[in-house]
Structure 1
Amino acid sequence: MSRLQAWARDLGMGARFAFGGGREGWIRTLLTGVGVGLGVALLLISTAIPGALAARYERGDARSTMSSEQPDTPGPDTLLITRINQTYRDKDIEGYALRAEGPRAPLPPGLTRLPAAGELAVSPALGELLKSSEGALLRERLAGPVGETIGDPGLVGPGELLFYLGSDSLAKSGPTDYRVDRVTAFGHDVAREGLDPVLMLMVVLTFVALLMPVAVFIATAVRFGGERRDRRLAALRLVGADSRMVRRIAAGEALAGSLVGLVLGAGFFAVGRSLVGSVSLRQRSVFPADLDPAPWLAALVAVAVPAAAVAVTLFALRGVVIEPLGVVRTARPARRRIWWRLLLPLVGVGLLLPLGGRGNDHGRFNQWQVSGGVVLLLVGITVLLPWLLERFVGKASGGPVSWQLAVRRLQIDSGGAARLVNGIAVAVAGAVALQMFFAGVEGDYTKSTGQDPARAAVAVMVHGGTGGGMDGLAGRIAAVPGVTRAVPLTSTQAAHRMPAEEETVQMTIGTCDALGEVAVLDSCTDGDAFLLTASASASGDGFYGGTARAGDELFIGDVRWTGSATADDPAPAKWTVPAGTRAVPGREDPTGALRSGLLVTPSAAPKELGDFADMRIFVQVDESGPDVLDRARNAVFASDPLVTAMTLREHQQAAGFSSVRTGLFFGAAAVLVLIGGSLFVSQLEQLRERRKLLSSLVAFGTRRSTLSLSVLWQTAVPIALGLLLAACVGVGLGAVLTSMAAQPVRVDWPSVLGMTGVGAGVVAAVTLLSLPPLLRLMRPDGLRTE
């Protein structure tokens, strides 16, 4: 018989033992299949994530107008569109106002017709929000009738909040009116900018750190039932099987369990895929149809998992002598050696250290070198933990009975206890390293906006119109309960001659109270005018930008105007700078802008500003009141949907960094589910293996509380050592990764303690869930056997 035939025969016999070994056999196979299946499901999801993200980008580009043709004049196929994004509580809502200029105006993806004037087309998620009790205030803002629900082709994800509002008053004043676009089609074909080297390094690290626990869990799952399996193999030796044959039979059992795991994993993936549409993290969601793994990646998983199961089983049996009269594993094992266990993390560090200090200035990192170094460091945890646990329990003695029972059990099988927590230790180490790395580079991707939310929570920005309308809007906002102050400022351009060719003069008009937001005024009464200097510390001659003196004659409005005056398009008006205009130091307004030019109070200001004035209202609120900001936004939207109400924030994060961090949240959530599920299955398998031992102890009078505490200690000791080792390795890996990004190494202790606490919390939850089956196993009738 050839070697291949011998392998096929023995693997087939092992598969028959897995499925035909009675209740014990198929329960063991099922547990193995569930453990492997959870890992396979997450692997399939991971392989599908790049395609899902690409599909999101494609649908977002399909409805974009950034690269669309924009004619200057209306036509039968033109559409006016402008962005009117909204914020509701902590949710961002994307919105557009539309008006067709011809019968063949293009339709946004996902719509069958354009909404009529005042009518809304909303995404399913926004429709549900509007109908819910949580969306009561939003219904006041988006009060128009909902005529259509946006279809999937027009959405980047099922949880997206998006609306289109039909308008009959939307207009584009000319080519220089950048608020409104005139387009003939939807679609954005500009190549997407790639991630910089550090962000790409983040992506690689995220995938490696999140998938390593999966591999560890799969390797653990295929070794379920190891002790019972070895006793069966000893029986096979008694009837004539040689040592190589029994190892191949054991590999066949593991192969059968892994194949069951592949089937269950495909089922878990299908269930998870069907549920993913209802999950939204940080307002990011994925359509189930987009979660479609590449065929070659799915085939790789289908081949790699069974092959790994066979390899892990043969590796586990390398030091086990299976003889006809028993398994020599039950003898006192040799002490584990430390030297070769340190080689893996040392080689990993050796691969990563040469990349230190590169940052974004030296091109992309070698992904294989980075992945190899991180994998070796994380795998180092799985080989160091058994040695650490053996040394700890080897020196432990004394204590209560529950502690002694637990220590004795760990002394007998410290390797099995370490395998139970290897996965969670690797997951925590990877999470700690990633959190340190993200915290270290966050400063490069988080920019200060210069805005001051303490001075104004919202800045309302209006283009065009008249001062009277501005004052009316400010009054309506100020009347909202909880609004403590609404300060209107109007800005326009002035020039000494027409058309303006030199630097223009900025003019800001407002009450003395309002002008105090942009300048330091020692005194002010209505009728005054001021000339801004560079800063509060500058002297009267420190002017900046275009400037003017008292008595200068200026043109106000469209100072680059070159046309002929008409009733609809009058020429810019003339205005004389009042006598007594004095210099005052400027200060940044709440949005961080430092203004130049003239400050003018209302009675001294020009009477006609035309349609070229920009107006802002700075709104302060008492945030202790409920929904004050949203009531203010409702007042703004009711006045004019095109008016922008910008929430002021001190910092803004780069989109690429935010996307990678969101992906980390998705992956971390999935890994946590896997950790909990696999740990629970592992716990049940270990309890099932010790059923007769627990029943014997109860039959001899051992209290259940003592046994329960002993099981708790058996879990707590390896977990504590594993989390300690994971924290140390995670901090070390995080330090190396941070230095690779050319950032100063800083231990983010809140993240270290937080991730360690999450790992401990998952273990505590699994332990509590395993108590009911433990109590059922601790009964004397567990001694019955077939």
Structure 2
Amino acid sequence: MNLGQWAKDLAMGVRFAFAGGREGWVRALLTAVGVGLGVALLLLTTAIPNALAVRHDREAARTDITYGDTTLKKGDDTLVVADAGTSFRDQDVRGRALEPEGPRAPLPPGVRELPAVGEMVVSPALKRLLESDDGKLLRERLPDRIVGTIGEEGLIGSTELAFYRGGEGLAPKVDDGPVTRIDRFGDPNPTSSERMDPILLLLILVVFVVLLTPVAVFIAAAVRFGGERRDRRLAALRLVGSDGRMTRRVAAGEAMAGAALGLVFGTVFFLVGRQIAGSVEAFGYSVFPSYLNPSPLLALLVAVAVPAAAVLVTQFALRGVVIEPLGVVRTAKPSRRRLWWRLLMPLAGLAMLYTMVGQGRDGGEFNQYLVIGGVMLLLVGVTALLPWIVEAVVARLGSGGVAWQLAVRRLQLSSGTAARMVNGIAVAVAGAIALQMLFSGVAGDYTESTGQDVSRVQMQVHVPQGVPLDSVKEKLAGTKGVDRVFGYSEGYVGDRAHEADHFTQVTVGDCASLREVASLPSCREGDAFVATGGEYDEDGAQLAKPGRTVYFDPSSEYEKTTPVAWTVPQNLKEAPSVKDPTGFKRGGLLLTPSALSERAAQAVAGEVYLRLDESVPDVREYVRNTAARIDPFADPMVWTSTERSDQFTAIRTGLFIGATCVLVLIGASLLVSQLEQLRERKKLLSSLVAFGTRRSTLSLSVLWQTAIPIGLGLLLASVGGMALGAVLLRMTDTPVQVDWASVLSMTGVGAAVVLAVTLLSLPPLLRLMRPDGLRTE
């Protein structure tokens, strides 16, 4: 066979797809929509690495406060930067106060002109928030006049809240906390990326495989839309003289045409979705449309792989079909599906993963090829097993109502079609269950207890240097929603003014505050105590001796400070230490304010702790506003009982975003597939209605036709997902424990998606169940 004949046959298939009348282009359109949805998600996936790289580069380009040692002196090209960030309703607001020291002071990325005192430049999202009623409380904290917006190159996301405000009097505070002097923006000491934790890398690999495998399954199912009508057209070709090989090449051309149109649709869907992504925030993350540029090489791979896969799937689908001049031999009883080769894929996947069982993070990085191959084979094994299970079960289903019998008979005749419809949802649920088990199993390794007792304290405010502690407590106590306030001034003393060998903690507060950290026998102003039983306080008893001279802020060879001498009071009492709200038993000296000299009082720093009335809406915002009036750079700390690794949280967030996209794809693809199935059966439904079958019976039969394979698919997905999850946990050297809540929730989500698709398909079904559907031309 020469290439010219091949080209003619393929071209004929393309003409059948687009010039075969209404049936031809409807099938091509359905195929293109199904393939297009998958292609759009594949293009989105190929754009993720670029989006992450751009976010990282823009974050690095605006780096200013590095908390590193600096010897930069004031000049006409220097800028003093202070951290003025805050939080608003669990959202971070990145803020900087800028004080130029010369006409050539650097500009932050995305800012055309430095704001003056009383002015600020804000991100578009922050501007919208401040101008809305929802941002009223934040506006009280940021009263400066808005004189401009930050450009895209200065932000890491379209919904990021950020601002630059004019500052003054910042120079004396340089290198004191979050205030620094710079002559350019950007990380002055870029370092190479750290080696990622092997288990986190494993999570990333599994997430990508689990999210992309359902996409591939849906694309494979989409190119088989309208298979029965296509085969009848091919039979007509045989009748006019074509041979079997020619008909298969024509089918390949038709599949390629649908896939090519799907690439066009997918590109359009991707471009539309990319624009929508610029105005959406998911789990705290947002991007600009320009971030989502697929890698040219990966986009080319998608453009080549999708049509190639369409041809391969089509040829595979025709392997069991005998296309003869007088019809398609597929209506006879098909041969039973074989089980042995369907078990080979999941078993091979298990074997690949088993080689890494028990490795954990101490065994080095997991072999990424074995991980990807093993997980993919296990998930694809679900798609191979499901048709056999559906066929075996429906063959044994017996009598029932009319709707049940119609559904069961239809499934017995075309169990493969029913299985293809639910393959994608089964793979997605199986992967989600496995991932949830893995995340739940290793979460404890990336979650630490802070020790903070959130039942006693919900927020903490730092007292600025030179501001009286009592003044801060009084203002915070008068804040709406604050139930109780207590606080301390804290510091350390040493046995010598220079190069001290022994240290102990000093806690200064009123009697009510001191009772939060120790069991006081009695207390009045002027008393002094030594805490007993404190943790990590080996030198407290030695230094806390009446009449002994100790030194606040003793200097060291690395840091020259001005030590303050202070004499331990004579009337020192003992007080057993108790756990403070941070979960720590503190030792050292406990003093009431008048027990400390005025000079020594300047050597301690204050912290105020708040108990809130959580029933008051936005109570934390009221506290932040009060703190901002005390110190414009204050950012009160919200207490939490646990804290989780940022990398682990980012991966889990990525999973939720990806899973959301896949669920949308699942729903859309299932709906397209359901509509295609109904279109195929239009005349049959019309015939049944014409003979008096009630529409409610037909509707219920369609529901049963969906429910039976879905139920079997979800059951198989649960088993497969738990098996994969157990293997992944064993690979990370984590005890295997089934997270039944995750299993049930993921199964329920899958069932809910199918139920929603079924309900959406009812209106078209009712329109198809009309006697005039028997008309033909």
The TM-score by the shorter chain falls in which range? over 0.9
Structure 2 matches for 1:499-538, cutoff 5 A? 499-535=498-534
C-alpha distance after superposition, 1:563-601 (max 9, x if no partner): xx9xxx9x6554322112123233343234543321100
Contact 1:591 1:648 in 2 (8 A): no
User: For residues 191 and 95 of structure 1, what CA distance do their matches in structure 2 show?
Assistant: 27
Q: For residue 78 of structure 1, what is the aligned residue in structure 2? A: 78
Contact 1:463 1:612 (C-alpha < 8 Å) held by counterparts? no
1:549 to 500, 524, 545: 545
Q: Matches of 2:44 and 2:173 in 1, distance apart?
A: 50
Q: Distance in 2 between matches of 1:475 and 1:762?
A: 54
Matched with 1:147 is 147
List per-residue Cα deviations over 1:121-154 (Å, max 9, x = no partner). Answer: 2211111111222212111111222222111111
Cα-to-partner distance string for 1:63-110 (whole Å, 9 max, x where unaligned): 113568833542222222232332212222222222223332222211
1:304-327 Cα offsets, whole Å, 9 max, x none, are: 000000000000111111111111
Q: Which residue of 1 aligns with 2:628?
A: 637
Shift of 1:516: 1.9
Whether the 8 Å contact between 1:461 and 1:645 is mirrored in structure 2 is yes
1:114 counterpart residue number: 114
Deviation of residue 183 (structure 1)?
A: 1.7
CA distance in 2, matches of 1:34, 1:522: 78
Q: Which residue of 2 aligns with 1:51?
A: 50
Q: Aligned runs of 1:319-358 on 2, under 5 Å?
A: 319-358=320-359
Pairwise CA distance, 1:532 = 2.1
Contact kept, 8 Å, 2:87 with 2:635, in 1: the verdict is no
Cα offset for 1:661? 1.1
Q: Equivalences for 1:357-372 in 2 at 5 Å?
A: 357-372=358-373
Deviations 1:153-210 (A, max 9, x none): 11111111112232213244465x2332222221122223242111111111111110
Of 719, 724, 738, 1:733 maps to 724
Counterpart CA distance in 1 for 2:664 and 2:240 is 44
Between the aligned partners of 2:677 and 2:745, the Cα distance in structure 1 is 29
| Corresponding residue of 1:480 | 479
CA distance in 2, matches of 1:351, 1:651: 36
Q: 1:7-26 residue pairs with structure 2 within 5 A?
A: 7-26=6-25
Residue type of the partner of 2:453?
D
Question: 222-231 or 577-586, which moves further after superposition?
Answer: 577-586
CA contact (8 A) 1:116 1:167 kept: yes
TM-score (norm: length of structure 1): 0.95
Give the whole-Å Cα distance in 2 for the aligned partners of 1:586 and 1:104: 56
Q: Distance in 1 between matches of 2:757 and 2:703?
A: 11
d(CA) in 2 for partners of 1:51, 1:743: 33
- SS of the equivalent of 2:330 reads helix
Q: In 1, are the aligned partners of 2:500 and 2:554 still within 8 Å (CA)? A: no
**Which AA in structure 2 matches 1:112?**
R
Q: Which runs of 5+ in 1 are unaligned?
A: none
* d(CA) in 1 for partners of 2:425, 2:714: 8
Distance 1:134 1:228 in 2: 57
How much has 1:470 moved relative to structure 2? 2.0
Aligned to 2:382: 381
The structural deviation recorded for 1:542 is: 6.6
- 1:559 deviates by 3.4
Tell me what 1:585 maps to: 576
- The Cα shift of 1:268 comes to 0.5
Taking structure 1 as reference, are residues 130 and 573 closer, same or farther at Cα in structure 2, changes over 3 Å only?
same
Conserved 8 A contact 1:69-1:183: no
SS at match of 2:717: helix
Moved more, 73-82 or 751-760: 73-82
**Paired residue for 1:671?**
662
Q: Which amino acid letter does the alignment assign opposite residue 74 of structure 2?
A: P
AA aligned opposite 2:249: R
Alignment match, 2:28: 29
> Identity of counterpart residues, as a percentage?
57
Amino acid at match of 2:664: V
Aligned partners of 1:388, 1:473: CA distance in 2, in Å? 70
In 2, the alpha carbon distance for the partners of 1:724 and 1:223 equals 25
Number of the residue aligned with 2:686: 695
Q: 247-256 or 113-122: which moved more?
A: 113-122
Helix, strand or coil at the partner of 2:320? coil
Q: Can you list the C-alpha shifts for 1:677-730, whole angstroms capped at 9, x where unaligned? A: 111100000000000000000011100000000011111111111011111101
Residues 533 and 543 in structure 1, CA contact (< 8 A), matched pair in contact too: no
1:560 aligns with 2:559: no
User: Structure 2: how far apart are the matches of 1:173 and 1:765?
Assistant: 60
Q: Relative to structure 1, is the Cα distance of residues 107 and 784 closer, same or farther in structure 2, using a 3 angstrom cutoff?
A: same
- 1:527-584 Cα distance to aligned partner (Å, 9 max, x none): 1111123439x9xx9755973211112344x43299xx9xxx9x65543221121232
Is the CA contact 1:529–1:599 (under 8 Å) kept in the aligned structure 2? Answer: yes
For the Cα contact (< 8 Å) 1:474–1:488, is it kept in 2?
yes
Alpha-carbon distance in structure 1 between the residues aligned to 2:149 and 2:469: 35
Q: 1:369 to 1:561 in 2, by over 3 A?
A: closer
Whichever residue aligns with residue 377 of structure 1, its letter is: L
Structure 1 position 778, deviation (Å): 0.4
User: Alignment partner of 1:186: what SS?
Assistant: coil
Whether the 8 Å contact between 2:427 and 2:717 is mirrored in structure 1 is: yes
CA positional deviation for 1:610: 6.4
5 Å-filtered alignment, 1:439-454, equals: 439-454=440-455
Partners in 1 of 2:350 and 2:563 — Cα distance? Answer: 70
The equivalent residue for 1:281 is 282
User: Matches of 2:473 and 2:542 in 1, distance apart?
Assistant: 29
Q: 2:746 aligns to what?
A: 755
Worse overlay, 542-551 or 760-769: 542-551
Distance 1:521 1:165 in 2: 47
Q: Distance in 1 between matches of 2:542 and 2:302?
A: 66
Name the stretch that deviates more: 337-346 or 502-511: 502-511
C-alpha distance in 2, partners of 1:71/1:543? 36
In structure 2, the residue matched to 1:615 is 606
Per-residue deviation at 1:631? Answer: 0.5
- Whole-angstrom CA distance in 1 between matches of 2:109 and 2:765: 56
Q: Give CA deviations for 1:269-306 in whole Å, capped at 9, x if unaligned.
A: 11011111111112111111010011111110000000
Query: Which residue pairs with 1:185 in the alignment?
Result: 184
Distance 1:356 1:646 in 2: 42
Matched residues in 1 for 2:354 and 2:519: separation?
53
Alignment RMSD: 2.0
* Deviation at residue 8 of structure 1 after TM alignment: 1.7
Aligned to 1:92, the other structure's residue is in SS state strand
Does residue 781 of structure 1 match 2:772? Answer: yes
| Deviating more after overlay: 582-591 vs 623-632 | 582-591
* Counterpart Cα distance in 2 of 1:280 and 1:149: 19
Q: Output the CA distance in 2 between the equivalents of 1:313 and 1:546.
A: 85
| Mapped contact 1:463–1:613 kept (Cα < 8 A) | no
How far off its partner does 1:351 sit?
0.6
Secondary structure of the 2:531 match is strand
Match of 1:424 in 2: 425
Task: Report the secondary structure of 1:461's partner residue.
Answer: strand
Deviation at 1:455, TM superposition (A): 1.3
In the alignment, which residue of structure 2 is the partner of 1:710? 701
More displaced 10-residue stretch of structure 1: 492-501 or 472-481? 492-501
Which segment drifts farther, 311-320 or 132-141? 132-141
Contact between 2:283 and 2:657, CA under 8 Å: does it hold in 1?
A: no
Question: Does the 8 Å contact 1:28/1:225 carry over to 2?
Answer: yes
User: Which one is further off, 734-743 or 5-14?
Assistant: 5-14
- CA 1:95/1:597 → structure 2, altered by over 3 Å: closer, same or farther? same
CA contact (8 A) 1:70 1:184 kept: no
2:641 to 650, 666, 669: 650
